[in-house]
Amino acid sequence: MKKLLALLLLSPLVVSEELISLDDFFTSEEANAMSSAELTIFSLEKCSAITFISIGGDNPEVEDVGDIFLETAFVYRVDTEPDMDWEVHQENNLQTTQKYFKEYQSHFLDFSELNPGEAFSDLMKEDLKFCIGMYEIINGEEE
């Protein structure tokens, strides 16, 4: 799975609409129309993507926190729709995470060009903070 993700991340950059923070997304009409499971999957895939950006990409030889988010999202996808073939879930999981990776990558590159010397934008810091909280929940470390 990791090697497939690495190959997908090397494909051409395609970015959709402007990136908004996870907090802003959760207050949007689009989020309100989503089920709890869909929001969980969305959050996990976004966290996988931003984590890969924050550590400089995916290393297929090492399981890192981005992989944990990716794999957890895959499990949620399978649990949500158990009748769907697991390979379809895997492909959907990888494509969606790749899309989010490219959005964060574009944002990161634009921010870095305008703000040399600063590691991450406020949006990325907010999203990473959210993802740290999710990681703690996944690992049973929440208070």
Q: Which residues of the chain have pLDDT under 70?
A: 1-17, 58-59, 62, 141-143
Q: Residue-wise over 32-61: b if at least 16 C-beta within 10 A, else e?
A: eeeeeeeebbbbbbbbbbbbbbbeeebeee
Give Cα separations from 129 to 18, 20, 41, 48, 134 (angstroms): 20, 15, 17, 13, 9
Domain membership of residue 45 (yes or no) is yes
- Alpha-carbon span 1 to 23, nearest angstrom: 29
Domain membership of residue 31 (yes or no) is no
- Give the range of the structural domain holding residue 79, as residue numbers without chain letter: 2-8+40-138
Domain membership of residue 61 (yes or no) is yes
Predicted local confidence at residue 11, as pLDDT = 40
Per the structure, the count of domains in the chain is 1
Mean pLDDT of the chain: 85
